[in-house]
Amino acid sequence: MRRKHSAPASRPRVILFRIVLRTRRGTCYRMAAVWDQLRDRFDEWCTDKIWWWRLGLLAAFAFEALRYFRDPEYSSVFDGITFGIHELGHMLWGFLGEWMSVAGGSLTQVLAPIASMLMFLKQPDFFAISICGYWLATSLINVSRYIGDAFWMRLPLVSPGGGETYHDWNYLLDSLGMLSWHAGLARLTKAMGFLMLFASFAFGLWVIVQIYRRASQTAE
């Protein structure tokens, strides 16, 4: 009498491993194709671009950024538009209820620079992406101040409509039972802001160097 040999127990694992491997390989190929396309777009964009005024603009923003280290309450050139977008965000998210309406202010002022970066990536304008990154950094630093004030509520509050004012982050954190976390969340958000600040300037400087190199090669 012959015994029937069942399939090895490890066979499903082998099949699963092959599926995962093929999926990862396909993802890597797609990422490589996207990277090659993006690199070609960047090379084409760099052609005939002027580097010196971009360097001057980046230096001006770098000088302004240094003031954040000297004065924790410093307001950047973007703070006016950031405030307007913050207040607009309260109205945009209002249809989802009171909580999202309150959260929508800070959420929108962070999403707006990100949307601008994606817009300039599509155009494309790679140097403008670095400037929008600076805007995102200042917006995050602005939010960190608001979060840090959630417990003490010492910041002056403004309501464009002239109605009753309330502290967004005091309401949000208190409703979640996380008001005691305000200092840690503020430090984390501020660290993200400064990290974005350095990354934006590094990227902007790299873009300028690439433009300069291509201009030098063309001159030769």
| pLDDT tens digits, 79-89 | 889 999 999 99
* 18 has pLDDT over 70: no
Flag whether pLDDT at 132 surpasses 70.
Answer: yes
User: Would you state the structure tokens that stand for residue 184, as one six-digit string?
Assistant: 């840690």
Does the pLDDT of residue 162 top 60, yes or no?
no
More confident residue, 181 or 40: 181
Q: Would the pLDDT of 110 be above 70?
A: yes
Confidence of residue 113 (pLDDT cuts 50, 70, 90): very high
- pTM for the model: 0.84
Encoded tokens for 56: 């001057």
Q: What percent of the chain has pLDDT over 90?
A: 60
What's the rounded mean pLDDT across residues 159-171? Answer: 77
- 92 within 8 A of 166, measured Cβ to Cβ: no
Q: What is the pLDDT of residue 219?
A: 65
Q: Which of 85, 83, 90, 74 is nearest to 171 (CA)?
A: 90
Question: How do residues 31-66 score in pLDDT, each as one tens digit?
Answer: 777 777 888 889 899 888 999 999 999 999 999 888
Share of the chain above pLDDT 70, in %: 84
Mean pLDDT of 12-28: 64
Residue 205's pLDDT is: 97
CA distances from 39 to 32, 47, 54, 94, 121 (A): 10, 13, 20, 41, 12
CB atoms within 10 A of CB 133: 23
Query: Poorest-confidence range of 12-21, 177-186, 199-208?
Result: 12-21
Sign, CA torsion 48/37/125/213: negative
pLDDT greater than 80 at residue 8: no
* Buried-exposed string 174-196: b where 16+ CB fall within 10 A, e elsewhere: eeeeeeeebeebbeebbebbbeb
How far, CA to CA in Å, does 16 sit from each of 20, 21, 23, 135? 6, 9, 11, 45
In this predicted structure, the answer to whether residue 12 has a pLDDT above a threshold of 70 is no
Domain edges within the chain: 11-46, 50-219
Q: Which amino acid is at 18?
A: R
